[in-house]
Amino acid sequence: TDCNSHTNDSNNIKKLKRGFAYKLFYQQGVWPQNASLNDYYLAVSYTVRDRMQKMFLNSIRALQEKDSKIVGYLSAEFLMGPHLHNNLINLGLYDQVSRAVEESGLDIKQIIDHEEEPGLGNGGLGRLAACYLDSLATLQIPAIGYGIRYEFGMFDQEIENGWQKELGDRWLHPGNPWEFKKAHMAVEIGSGGYTERYTDDHGNLRVRWVPARMVKGIPYDTPVIGYRVNNVNLLRLWSAEAPKSFDFDDFNVGDYQGAVHEKIMAETITKVLYPNDEQFRGKELRLLQQYFFVSCSMQDMVRIHLFQFPNLDNFPDKFAVQLNDTHPAIAVPEFMRLLIDVHHYSWEQAWDIVTHTFAYTNHTLLPEALEKWSVDMLGRLLPRHLEIIYEINSRFLDLIRIKYPGDVDVVRRMSIIDESGERYVRMAHLACIGSHAINGVAELHTRLLKNHTLADFHRLWPDKLTNVTNGVTPRRWMVLSNPRLARLISSAIGDGWITDLYKLRKLEPLVDDPAFCEKWQQVKFENKQDICAMFSCDCGPVFNPYALFDVQVKRIHEYKRQHLNLLHIVNLYHRLKNNPDLDVPPRTFIFGGKAAPGYTMAKLIIKLINSVADVVNSDPDVKNRLQILFIPNFNVQIGHMLYPMADLSEQISLAGKEASGTGNMKFSMNGALTIGTLDGANVEIREEVAPENFFLFGMDVNAVEDLRRAGYNPQTIYNQNEGLKAAINLIAMGHFSHGDQELFRPLIDSLLYHDPYMVLADYQSYVECQQKVGEVFQDPGRWTKMAIRNAARMGKFSSDRSIADYCRKVWKVKPLPVELKLQRLPE
Ligand code: 26Q
């Protein structure tokens, strides 16, 4: 009864408060009056963590007891974002903990905001892995996420004089209350050395790898809890340590320096996340990172399997292993090595096990992003793996020759080894050949893989390549980040949508309910006010919450075309200056995103955004009508604030370049309208929300291809378009650089003489579409209906749907609900 649950509540709050005090005293070792915010953050987190332990241990037991298949999700990146808030929501403890914290004289928001987020990813791919872990747990699918415990995650970005500056991310410094170090589960990882043949006791010829160096992999486990279920999955991240605790007795005393060096080298492996996405660079340490976490993870799964079964024959029935892009593709030869050299399987048996275990997700169409490791380097670091790769390739090419007699070109194209110049190992080919399933991440992307990037493989194995459109978790990206909207939606249609996002459809009839529409507008307005409040205290511009908030947040990359957005802004500024009566709504343009530290052009784009912002924001002629804000250090935490307050979502990549995009989904779920090209998942978003609720512009992939074939010359477009010319000239003449005409020249020259992403070709269409956006925004009733319809039709883009697709099409796994077997806890 109500009365009963009330007593339970206050009982629970009492217990939570006691928990905080206990943790402060015994764990942090401080009196409450001396405790810092960090002490409180840790005390609250440890208390919450304790509440997960029973579920965690029950989940692990369920895995061991039952004949259940486990998903092993191998990813070099997991961009988890802050844990505390998410765990409170998934556990259903937010309100109680909030009260308990309040009664202890603190503010839950302050404590939540104190968390240093684990930014162990670059962007889309890493965040996708995190959304998938949330959905796996919520759908009660047993899963382990395997990755790297980088000591330094994604760098922190500061803006200095308009330029990006990178600072080391010290996320572990304040202490990480969410992980458990499992020192006893360490594994050993080799590198370098040589291979040798030998005959074993039974007269069998075998191969042995004799590595030159060994490091230890130590797992750190972070529990991943599902939304309101008892299932707790595992994120297992590996950290590298020197093989022996540094004990110089073990080393030749004469080589003390060398011993220290070895230790430092070992621990370098998991030091830092490589901050470049979409641009492959063949660094030795990066290959070592990949091999390190892959070997740790495969050995771990083998150990778990052998705990339950006498041999590895049925490994593919126990584990489905997903390769998140080719970063973990070295798992294919590594598992072959473990099966053949260590567990003494024949090549044929081993290959059967391997190919029934792995599946591979491709995340990119950009040729420069495809991983290819120099054969020399790979052979030096992993000599046994190179031998195995050669053997895989030789058998594969025999198959190709039989299939396509006399076609030497197809052999050259499909070979794992690129022999066009210096020899390289093509990791995508290795992943395709070693997997039973390959998938793209949006319908268009998969089609392009089938027709271009992986066309030969698709022709060979027509059933292997499928699509699984990406999704994002509505727990973090709606419930957690947009509580006002979540409350409004739940009050209208109940809260079933949180675990079945298709239920948002029930919102559609409410577009004709003026009271509901008004509340919807009010939510958006309050979300915008929150942001404005954050910036109003500074001496900088005060943002107008009545303006159209036009947002582009994502990694800075030429293919994503932040500079197309800028050209429109400069053009609008120019028009407003020349015609103060121009009938356009006030706009606030918001940018956020990091540039890879070595990507000069991307860094120049950041500088240009900030330079245009400086001039426009201080120009009285456009005061309150045009404002630009670059939010530094875009990360998960800042995403929580930005997606809910956006009116307009910018998804303006050149068609055929963005594999999927996932920010596009987050915006739309939160009631922003999209201006976008027919690229990636935009195509499907538009399909779902209906064309009249989507601002489409630009060339489609066919038009892009036609134009490229006809010969694209950006200068012709520049010369023929007065508005474009004016915008480009303003930048080139130094209007935004205190007269300096050199500063932005590389960017201008690139646009005028190469324009690899066809910014100028799509410019006019974009500007006209933006004009339409402005007109619709001036009719708030119409805009709101469109926004509600957008959110209502986002069911497909829940990561729950994506994971259900993977379970059915790729992994063949079923839910394993965990019951809480009551067992008395140790006193
Ligand atoms: C590779 C080798 C060496 C160093 C770094 C890398 C590297 C690291 C990260 C290469 C690529 C990435 C990240 C790629 C990425 O985030 N891709 C995005 O994946 C999303 C999820 O599928 C898609 O929505 C985006 O379209 C895609 O760009």
How is 752-811 classified by DSSP, letter by letter? HHT-TT-HHHHHHHHHHHHHHHHHHHTSHHHHHHHHHHHHHT-GGGBHHHHHHHHIIIII
- Strand-pair partners of 648: 550, 673
User: Mean pLDDT of all residues in the chain?
Assistant: 95
Structurally, how many domains does the chain consist of?
2
pLDDT of residue 406 exceeding 60, the answer is: yes
Atom of ligand 1 lying closest to residue 276 CA: 5
pLDDT (tens digit, 9 = 90+) per residue, 51-87?
999 899 989 887 787 778 999 999 999 999 999 999 9
SS (H, E, C) 394-405: HHHHHHHHHHCC
- Assess whether 261 and 130 both reside in one domain: yes
Mean pLDDT of 11-17: 94
CB of 651 closer than 8 Å to CB of 694: no
Question: Among 136-140, 460-464, 543-547, 607-611, which is the least confidently predicted range?
Answer: 543-547
Cα–ligand 1 centroid distance for 554 (angstroms): 12
Q: How far is the CA of 278 from the centre of ligand 1 (A)?
A: 5
Spatial contact of 101 and 321, defined as CB atoms under 8 Å apart: no
Element (H, E) at 191: strand 187-191
Q: Are residues 360 and 235 in the same domain?
A: yes
Ligand 1 neighbourhood includes 371 CB (under 6 angstroms): yes
Both 517 and 658 in one domain: the answer is: yes
Q: Is the pLDDT of residue 119 over 50?
A: yes
For ligand 1, say whether the CB of 679 is within 6 Å of any of its atoms. Answer: no
Whether 660 contacts 445, CB under 8 Å: yes
Give yes or no for residue 659 CB within 6 A of ligand 1.
Answer: yes
Q: Which protein residue's CA is at the shortest distance from atom 12 of ligand 1?
A: 277
CATH number at residue 655: 3.40.50.2000
Burial letters for 719-731: b for 16+ Cβ neighbours within 10 Å, e otherwise? eebebbeebbebb
Residue of 278, 360, 426 to mutate, ligand 1, most atoms within 8 A of C-beta: 278
Atom of ligand 1 nearest to the CA of 128: 21
Q: Is 128 a pocket residue for ligand 1 (Cβ < 6 Å)?
A: yes
Domain boundary among the residues 365, 385, 413 is at: 365
The answer to whether the CB of 735 falls within 8 A of the CB of 727 is no
Q: How far apart are CA 495 and CA 826, in angstroms?
A: 36
Which residue has a Cα nearest atom 19 of ligand 1? 125
Is 633 touching ligand 1 by the criterion CB < 6 Å?
no
Domain range for 574: 480-794
Of 365, 392, 409, the position where a domain reaches its end is 365
Q: Are residues 353 and 485 in the same domain?
A: no
Q: How confident is the model at residue 263 (pLDDT cuts 50, 70, 90)?
A: confident
On whether residue 405 sits in a domain, the answer given is no
In a domain, 216, yes or no: yes
Same domain, 669 and 526: yes
Q: CB of 277 closer than 6 A to ligand 1?
A: yes
Residue with structure tokens 């299932």? Answer: 231
- Tens of pLDDT along 179-203? 999 999 999 999 999 999 999 999 9
Closest CA to 520 of 784, 797, 147: 784
**Strand ranges, E, within 293-416:** 319-324, 358-361, 372-374
133 domain-assigned = yes
Ligand 1 close to Cβ of residue 635 (< 6 A)? no
Query: Of ligand 1's atoms, which has the minimum distance to the CA of residue 282?
Result: 3
Give catalytic status of residue 49 as yes or no: no
Rg (CA), the chain: 28
Q: Give the confidence band of 1 by pLDDT, cuts at 50, 70, 90.
A: very low
Please give the distance, rounded to the nearest whole angstrom, from the Cα atom of residue 287 to the centre of ligand 1: 16
Q: What DSSP string describes 352-374? A: HHHHHHEEEE-----GGGS-EEE
Burial of 624 (0-12, 13-18, 19+ CB in 10 A): middle
Q: Is the CB of 280 under 6 A from ligand 1?
A: yes
Q: From CA 88, how far away is CA 623, in angstroms rounded? A: 42
Residue 152 and residue 165: Cα distance in Å, rounded? 16
Q: What is the DSSP letter of 472?
A: B
For 538: left if phi > 0, alpha if psi spans -120 to 50, otherwise beta; the answer is beta
| Residues contacting 779, CB < 8 A, separation 6+ | none
What pLDDT is stored for residue 401 in this prediction?
Answer: 98
Q: How many CB atoms lie within 10 A of CB 576?
A: 18
Which stretch of 126-140, 453-467, 522-536, 595-609 has the lowest confidence by average pLDDT? 522-536
Q: Does 363 qualify as catalytic in the annotation?
A: yes
> Quick check: 435 and 355 in contact, CB under 8 A?
yes
Q: Distance between CA 65 and CA 58 in Å, rounded? A: 10
Q: Is the CB of 81 under 6 A from ligand 1?
A: no
Q: Please report, as a single letter, which amino acid is at residue 408.
A: V
Query: Would you say residue 495 lies in a domain?
Result: yes
Higher pLDDT: 537 or 573? It is 573
Average pLDDT of the segment spanning 159-170? 97
| CA–CA dist 818, 802 (Å, integer) | 22
Cα separation, 815 vs 323, in Å, equals 21
Q: How far is CA 273 from CA 147, 177, 268, 363, 427, in A?
A: 11, 21, 11, 18, 20
**Which residue's CA is the closest to the ligand 1 atom numbered 2?**
280
Q: Ligand 1 centre and the CA of 280: distance in Å?
A: 10
The active-site residue out of 270, 662, 674, 677 is 662
Ligand 1 atom at minimum distance from 441 CA = 22
Say what the ipTM of the complex is: 0.98
- Give the Cβ contact number of residue 817 at 10 Å: 9
- β-strands 156-160, 163-167: how paired? antiparallel
Mutation choice for ligand 1 from 77, 78, 122, 554, CB with most ligand atoms inside 8 A: 122
Whether ligand 1 lies within 6 angstroms of the CB of 441 is answered as yes
Taking CA atoms only, the protein residue closest to ligand 1 atom 9 is 277
Summarised one tens digit per residue, pLDDT across range 279-328 is 899 899 999 999 999 999 999 999 999 999 999 999 999 999 999 999 99
Q: Is 561 tagged catalytic? A: no
> How many A from CA of 439 to the centre of ligand 1?
15
Would you call 393 helix, strand, or coil by DSSP? helix
Nearest CA to ligand 1 atom 11: 277
Give me the pLDDT at residue 60, please.
Answer: 86
Residue of 318, 372, 519, 554 marked catalytic: 554
Q: Is residue 92 within 8 Å of 228, Cβ to Cβ? A: yes
Instruction: Please tell me whether residues 355 and 504 are part of one structural domain.
Output: no
For ligand 1, whether the C-beta of 122 sits within 6 Å is yes
Instruction: Give yes or no for residue 181 CB within 6 A of ligand 1.
Output: no
Closest ligand 1 atom to Cα of 369: 10
Partnered with residue 232 across adjacent β-strands are 225
Does the beta carbon of 658 sit less than 6 angstroms from any atom of ligand 1? yes
Given 450, 560, 625, 657, which residue is catalytic?
A: 560
Q: Looking at the structure, tell me whether residues 361 and 494 fall in a common domain.
A: no
Residues making up the chain, counted from first to last: 827
Within a domain: 404: no
Our answer on whether the CB atom of 653 is closer than 6 Å to any ligand 1 atom is no
Task: For 486-526, give the DSSP string.
Answer: HHHHHHHH-SGGGT-GGGGGGGGGGGG-HHHHHHHHHHHHH
Q: Of 53-62, 73-82, 337-346, 538-547, which range is least confident?
A: 538-547
DSSP state of 24: I
**What DSSP state is assigned to residue 817?**
P
* Cα–ligand 1 centroid distance for 415 (angstroms): 24
Query: What stretch of H or E contains 448?
Result: helix 443-448
The CB of 334 under 6 Å from ligand 1? The reply is no
Which percentage of the chain shows pLDDT scores above 70?
96
Please tell me the distance from the alpha carbon of residue 70 to that of residue 143, in angstroms, as a whole number. Answer: 5
How far apart are alpha carbons 726 and 714 in whole angstroms? 15
Confidence of residue 253 (pLDDT cuts 50, 70, 90): low
Residue 740 inside a domain? The answer is yes
pLDDT for res 538: 57
Cα 624 vs. chain centroid, distance in angstroms?
35
- Token pair, residue 488, equals 């409004």
**9-18, 198-207, 258-267: the lowest-pLDDT one:** 258-267
Annotated catalytic residue, options 51, 114, 337, 555:
555
The predicted model gives 24-35 an average pLDDT of 94
**Is any ligand 1 atom within 6 A of the Cβ of residue 124?**
yes
> pLDDT value at position 609?
98
In a domain, 447, yes or no: no
Catalytic residue among 666, 785, 793, 801: 666
Catalytic residue check, 554: yes
Contact between 770 and 650 (Cβ < 8 Å): no
Residue 826: band (very low, low, confident or very high) from pLDDT cuts 50, 70, 90: low
373 lines ligand 1 (CB under 6 A): no
* 220 located within any domain: yes
Tell me the percentage of the chain whose pLDDT exceeds 90: 90
- Within 13 Å of residue 362, how many CA atoms lie on the same side as its CB? 36
- Nearest atom in ligand 1 to the alpha carbon of residue 658 is 26
Rounded to the nearest angstrom, the distance between the alpha carbon of 362 and the centre of ligand 1 is 9
Using the 3D structure, point to which of 302, 335, 365 is the last residue of a domain. 365
Number of alpha helices (DSSP H) and beta strands (DSSP E) in the chain: 32, 23
Please give the distance, rounded to the nearest whole angstrom, from the Cα atom of residue 122 to the centre of ligand 1. 7
Round to whole Å and give the CA distance between 165 and 603.
9
Closest approach atom of ligand 1 to CA 286: 3
